[in-house]
Amino acid sequence: MGSDGANVSSGRLSGKVILVTGAGQGIGRGIAHALAREGAAVAVAGRTLVKCETVAGEISSFGGTAIALECDVTERDRIEHALRTTADEFGGLDGLVNNAQSSTQGPLAEVTMEDVELSLRSGPLATLWAMQAALPLLRRRGGGSIVNFGSSTAISGAPLFGAYAMAKEGIRGLSRVAAREWGRYGIRVNVVVPTALSPAAQQFQREQPERFEQHVKRLPLGRMGDPETDIGRAVVALMSDDLTYLTGDTLMLTGGE
């Protein structure tokens, strides 16, 4: 059920505590809603606190539990503080969703070091820092689930996405290593590759409506994914007991793209 739907549902995640980065809008917001509807206590973390407070308020309005945290993932100390605060507020940590990512696009020949540093610092470095900070908290709970984010533009090598592709494929490699090193602790690490109506996709739709429609028509399912019902619900499954034997893998939520 979408963001305007009913109250907390089956409680598949009751008792679980999950932090989501980049949760103030778009896919992160949809994931936070989906997790909370299944009973998880959610830390809504993002760079702009007022957006996170809005999402936390939305969750509270349908009976869910959430706190809003300001967290610029390019700053390691802010990530560590957000995870400590989450564990202190809710008594532990069971899951981490590394959704936040900044980037610029442009021809590969014109990519600057600043472009690369922004993508890497907000992507694989932020993901690494968050996972390292989460590790002792998850181990205290006897395990847990980490969901990181890749991109179909990186997998296909889409033009103009050079720095972003570097970052996203770096995250996939990092995730596979973490899955193999931390499986002994009962920690699962997987990657989601989404095609969804994110703020970037909405901007594309506004600025280039014909190209956007062409892109949608190429999708076998004929539509863009919904941040909550298509992406968020899949993350719920990864956080729940339904997929406890899945780790080190990439879940392609791209509508067949």
Inter-CA distances, 188 with 139, 145, 147, 240, 244, Å: 11, 5, 8, 11, 8
Three-state SS string across the chain, please?
Answer: CCCCCCCCCCCCCCCCEEEECCCCCHHHHHHHHHHHHCCCEEEEEECCHHHHHHHHHHHHHCCCEEEEEECCCCCHHHHHHHHHHHHHHHCCCCEEEECCCCCCCECHHHCCHHHHHHHHHHHHHHHHHHHHHHHHHHHHCCCEEEEEECCHHHHHCCCCEHHHHHHHHHHHHHHHHHHHHHHHHCEEEEEEEECECCHHHHHHHHHCHHHHHHHHHHCCCCCCECHHHHHHHHHHHHHCCCCCCCCCCEEEECCCC
- 185 carries an active-site annotation: no
**How far apart are the C-alpha atoms of 124 and 162, rounded to whole Å?**
15
Quickly count: other Cβ atoms within 10 Å of residue 247's Cβ: 20
CB atoms within 10 A of CB 1: 14
Q: Let me know: does 56 contact 103? Beta carbons within 8 Å.
A: no
**Global confidence as pTM:** 0.94
Q: What are the residue ranges in the chain where pLDDT is below 50?
A: 1-3
List the beta bridge partners of residue 146.
Answer: 96, 189
**Torsion angles phi and psi, residue 21, rounded to 5:** -90, 155
Report whether 31 contacts 232 (CB < 8 A).
Answer: yes
pLDDT reported for residue 1: 39
| Selected catalytic residue, list 90, 149, 161, 164 | 164
Q: What is the pLDDT of residue 149?
A: 98
pLDDT at 184: 98
